[in-house]
Amino acid sequence: MAEANPVVKQQRRALMAHTPTAAADKSAVAIGNKSMIRLLLMISVPFILIVFGLGYWLMTRGTISTDNAYVHQDIVSVSADVSGRIVAVAVHENQQVKAGDLLFRVDPEPYRVALAQADAQIAAAQVNVGELSTIYQGTGVDIAKAEADISFAQKDYDRQRELAASGFTTKARLDAARHALDMAEASLRTARADAAEARSALATGRQVPGVNPRLAEARAQRAKALLDLQRTEVRAPASGKISNVDRLQVGQMLVTGLPAVSIVANDRSWVEANFKETQLDKLKPGQKAQITFDAYSNVKLKGHVASIGGGTGSEFSVLPAQNANGNWVKVTQRIPVRIAIDEPSPRPLITGLTSEVTVYVDD
């Protein structure tokens, strides 16, 4: 029999491939592949989760963390010690200053006048002291004269008494001599009392012995006037960055004691981390810590637990929580923990920055 045409053979193969039996075989293979993939996923996904969970547990074992942490720096509130009108502002917002730099100046003229008045009071007190000194020296002369009068009256009285004993004088002369002696002694007592009074007016007081009170008061007033004049120049008490200076304007009246400008002492920073009360039993001062910052994702700083707060955050709030009521809901409290930074930061730290703290509690 002659060999079949190749075209006919190809058509026959195509017909055989589209028979129901071939289609069923392909469907069974596809279902088997899907089942195998599903089985692999059911096995591999839990395994991967277990591996990642175990790795995370190994990495975080012996540590506690919180992202409720913020950078803190000392903020110095600067106020004027004297009141008056502002005549100059020497700094601008966010300027870096050093301790002793001039911040602003209050009108010094009223305080220069007060200093001149204090100088005048000192001059008047010195004149008064000169007058009192002259009076005191005069009492010395009166005492010397009274002592001389007593010496003369005593001799005259003794002579009259001897003459009276011999009958060569009268009783009237003896009485006159005695009276003269008594008057001289009274004059001496008066002179000594005047001297004591003059000495007391000239210099007295246990606080400033040997210094005239009026002169001492005048000198104290001058010292205060000079101090007030010096305080019209308000200088930075610490180094740092100026803040809130825009509220100071030339011509503005400044009241003593009210905050005028703030200085953020950015040379010393720390982090206050608010840990949950359930983590407190693992914390203790001295434990090492790692600090990261939301602002600087590539900065990691070393630190340690410096201290643990003496109360929860709610206790120091303006309105402390009142839990003695029937609607009380238990809320996990947080305790502020100060974290000291042990190394300099390559990026500037700004007070209030959000950070994350991890403490190694097994160290």
Taking 70 as the threshold, does the pLDDT of residue 241 lie above it? yes
Query: What pLDDT does residue 207 have?
Result: 43
Q: What angle (nearest 5°) sits at the alpha carbon of residue 362, between those of residues 357 and 363?
A: 85
- Categorize the per-residue pLDDT at 120 as very low, low, confident or very high, splitting at 50, 70 and 90: very high
Query: What pLDDT does residue 217 have?
Result: 86
Largest CA distance in the chain: 211
Instruction: Tell me the mean pLDDT in the region 8-33.
Output: 56
In DSSP notation, 112-142 reads: HHHHHHHHHHHHHHHHHHHHHHHHHHHHHHH
268 is a domain residue: no
At 23-54, the pLDDT tens digits run: 555 566 566 667 777 777 777 777 677 766 66
Tell me which of 215 and 56 has the higher pLDDT: 215
Assigned token pair, 33: 């592949």
Residue indicated by tokens 């643990």: 308
Lowest mean pLDDT among 112-116, 141-145, 197-201, 217-221: 197-201
80 is a domain residue: no
Taking 70 as the threshold, does the pLDDT of residue 326 lie above it? no
Q: What CATH number corresponds to the domain at position 136?
A: 1.10.287.620
63 is a domain residue: no
- For the chain, what is the domain count? 1
- Categorize the per-residue pLDDT at 352 as very low, low, confident or very high, splitting at 50, 70 and 90: very high
214 is a domain residue: yes
Taking 60 as the threshold, does the pLDDT of residue 137 lie above it? yes
Question: Taking Cα atoms as reference points, which of 352, 344, 335 lies closest to residue 302?
Answer: 344
289 is a domain residue: no
pTM of the model: 0.63
Segments forming the whole domain that contains residue 172: 108-231
34 is a domain residue: no
103 is a domain residue: no
At 169-205, the pLDDT tens digits run: 778 887 888 888 888 888 888 888 877 777 766 665 4
Helix 109-166 crosses helix 213-230 at what angle (to 10 degrees)? 170
Taking 80 as the threshold, does the pLDDT of residue 161 lie above it? yes
176 is a domain residue: yes
Query: How many other C-beta atoms lie within 10 A of the C-beta of residue 275?
Result: 23
